[in-house]
Amino acid sequence: MIEKIKKLSNEYEKSFYWEKPSEGIAVIALGELVSISENGKGRFAAIEKKTKAIKEGFVSNWDELNIDHLPLFVGGMKFAPENHTEIWENYPDANWFVPKVLIYSNGDENLIVCNFLLSSEVSRNRLESEFELRISQILSPRESPAAPIKPKISAITGNTPKDKKKWMEGVKKAISTIEAGELQKIVLSRQVELKLNEEPYVYGLLDQLKQNYPECYLFAFHSGKSTFFGASPEKLMKLTGEWIEADALAGSAPRGRDEKEDKEFEEQLLKSNKDILEHNTVINYLENLFKDYSAEINYEATPQIKKLKNIQHLWTPLKVRLNPSHRIFSIMEGLHPTPAVCGVPQADAINVIRKMEDYHRGMYAGIIGWFNFKKEGEFAVAIRSALLKGKKLYAFAGGGIVEGSDPAVEYKETELKLKPILALFDNEN
């Protein structure tokens, strides 16, 4: 059913797609019934307040149907509050919405959830008619989209030798700042702009990402004339009742051409002082944060390796038992942005990023995911991502800078991280 619904999502001003292929879970949210948006520094607290007000009037039949882990709100938040820019004009600093229709699939069953606004002015007959209309739209036969032609890149900016030199000079400045003791770590990113010969079918691109990166979070947040999409390997947090799962994902190496070389890269990564320092910076940040919300934090002392198609990362999953009084957006505000996409200290790193990066990150390295009123939610860090606007596509990638970083190596890492998006097009080189 999910595959047939994808084409329907183009007919809505706002839609949302979320899939975890490795777990067989997929969600498509269509239309905007209720939206909560905020701009500025107080966005987390404001969203928390607004969702609390909506919860007081929320009625559902979920408990009767024994439904768990079902999204109510979907959407995301930018990397940091920022001034209005044309590129990100369709995305406020924070934007979550309750869809009119949500289709959920876990491999064994499909659920269609219809959400409505109730008032004394809305009759039962009107609700029933609207419900029947929505269901008929979902279930009516429709042609599957034609196999998408792989679009070609007609022009690219942000990828020239001059751009490379400028970015590496920025990395050198960042290293000097770290050596001076002003920062422990900072993540500097790049934006590459592609002009395409035709507007691509975004779900065709996502299908390719699904084949190549089935262990990642696949997502697409469509708003107005823009679609932000990607395949993120990094969990920000998963909330299930009193438990939170989070990822420390930092420190990277390429994949090998064969099993032997791949193992060599893995062993080098596990022994790399620079990468271990970068990774431990993230773990220490998460541990110190969760101490304010929990008395029980569990993780292994030695990092694991998370292998993707073209890159491998140091990875430490954490599991945390929360105090009963926890609030989801308070925790999220503490978590985001993590050192894996920002730096330490956080506020100082954000200020340096704003000075050194000549573009606005927008949703890149922000938050993407869902939550409900049953203390459940799942959120990814919106990396390995791109923004599509007609025939223009903006792709992003970053590298973690610590003491001992090599600008040339960091640039190569950003090229590896851009690869998942650039490889979607016919002449990626």
Domain CATH for 332: 3.60.120.10
Nearest-angstrom CA–CA distance, 118 and 121? 8
Band of pLDDT at residue 428, cut at 50, 70 and 90: low
Residue 331 within any structural domain of the chain:
yes
Residue 376 within any structural domain of the chain:
yes
Q: Residues 246, 318: contact at Cβ < 8 Å?
A: yes
Nearest-angstrom CA–CA distance, 221 and 428? 24
Q: Residues 143, 4: contact at Cβ < 8 Å?
A: no
Residue 151 within any structural domain of the chain:
yes
Structure tokens at 172: 């050198």
Residue 203 within any structural domain of the chain:
yes
The predicted structure's pLDDT at residue 144: 59
Residue 382 C-alpha from the chain's centroid = 2
Q: pLDDT, tens digit, for every residue of 124-158?
A: 888 888 889 888 888 876 665 565 667 889 999 99
Residues with Cβ within 8 Å of residue 58, at least 6 apart in sequence:
373
Q: pLDDT, tens digit, for every residue of 299-336?
A: 999 999 999 999 999 999 999 999 887 889 999 999 99
Q: Are strands 243-254 and 235-240 parallel, antiparallel or unpaired?
A: antiparallel
Average pLDDT over residues 70-81: 97
Residue 53: closest CA among 415, 373, 375:
373
Structure tokens at 302: 């030695």
Q: Residues 254, 265: contact at Cβ < 8 Å?
A: yes
The count of residues in the chain is: 429
CA angle 27, 28, 33 (to 5 degrees): 120
Residue 429 within any structural domain of the chain:
no
Average pLDDT over residues 273-288: 93
Domain count, the chain: 1
What residues make up the domain containing 308? Answer: 2-422
The predicted structure's pLDDT at residue 1: 63
Residue 66 within any structural domain of the chain:
yes
**Highest mean pLDDT, choosing among 151-160, 196-205, 364-373:** 364-373
Residue 234 within any structural domain of the chain:
yes
Region of residue 75 (left: phi > 0; alpha: psi -120 to 50; beta: else): left
Q: pLDDT, tens digit, for every residue of 4-43?
A: 677 777 789 999 999 999 999 999 999 999 999 999 999 9
Q: Name the average pLDDT for the chain.
A: 92
Residue 199 within any structural domain of the chain:
yes
User: Which is higher by pLDDT, 83 or 288?
Assistant: 288
Q: In 213-341, which residue ranges form alpha helices assigned H by DSSP?
A: 259-271, 273-290, 328-335
Q: pLDDT, tens digit, for every residue of 91-101?
A: 999 999 999 99
